[in-house]
Amino acid sequence: MLKLAIYGKGGIGKSTMTSHLAAAFASLGKKVIQIGCDPKADSTINLLHGQPLKPVMDYLKEGDEPDHLEDISQIGYGGVLCIETGGPTPGLGCAGRGIIATFNLLEDLELFETYQPDVVLYDVLGDVVCGGFAAPIREGYAEDVLIVTSGEKMALYAANNIYTAVKNFEDRGYAKVKGLILNHRNVINEEEKVAQFAKARHLRIIGDIPRSDTIIQYEDQGMTAIEGDINSEISQRFIALAKELLNEGS
């Protein structure tokens, strides 16, 4: 089973990268779970034709603990099983606790034993890698971390924070950083900046995703570019990345 946690600065495009990767794996015939670990609960929306999924924390806040996986999940494009952790009411609780509560429930419901996925993707909020936000990289969940960045200063700053935090967790048996996904913002000398950052930390740039109007076009329609046009150049980029990750994970 390939288990990946995807981190990066808020607004850098983690959910776009994650949902497109999920769709790419599904297009290759793989059984995929995508778990959105963000209070906004919008990670899976483009796998569900723009329809938001009720997050697990909403059930728990209502005092209605779900008894079945079907209560908290939905099947999206390509058969991807979609789950959103959600979070507490803003200002009234720690968002990270929502992730922990959700993961405890998923264990009780035997998610992985029941669904038996080939690939699990965790889309994790921002550049915070502590408390509940570290839960996806603990032993038994994700095995590898992909950091999404651009060449922008703050994106690289966040990427460095994530890299440092994950490195500090290595001796606990947590996941390791597998590499970077360069999500282009077309800033000056972007490729050189990210390459220099990667080289200094002995990381690979595993994915190179150009800025794409095709992605925007299909996300406006509530879908990934892979569902909209699997033969497009950008869709093929994600499929190539999915193949590479599968080959390395086998």
Phi, psi (5° rounding) for residue 60?
-65, -35
For residues 150 and 14, give the distance between their C-alpha atoms in angstroms, rounded to a whole number: 11
- Catalytic annotation on 178? no
- Catalytic annotation on 9? yes
CB atoms within 10 A of CB 136: 27
Partners of 32 in beta bridges:
119
- Catalytic annotation on 243? no
Q: Which of 127, 144, 178, 193 is catalytic?
A: 127
Phi, psi (5° rounding) for residue 176?
-115, 160
- Catalytic annotation on 127? yes
Token pair recorded at residue 52: 């938001």
Q: Which of 31, 40, 58, 61 is catalytic?
A: 40
Q: Which of 14, 30, 178, 193 is catalytic?
A: 14
For residues 192 and 197, give the distance between their C-alpha atoms in angstroms, rounded to a whole number: 9
* Maximum distance among all Cα pairs of the chain, rounded to whole angstroms: 52
Q: Which of 3, 9, 30, 193 is catalytic?
A: 9
**Length, in residues, of the chain:** 250
**Region of 232 on the Ramachandran plot (φ > 0 left; ψ -120 to 50 alpha; else beta):** beta
Instruction: Kindly state the DSSP code that residue 135 receives in the 8-state scheme.
Output: G
Phi, psi (5° rounding) for residue 179?
165, -170
- Hey, which residues are catalytic here? 9, 14, 40, 127
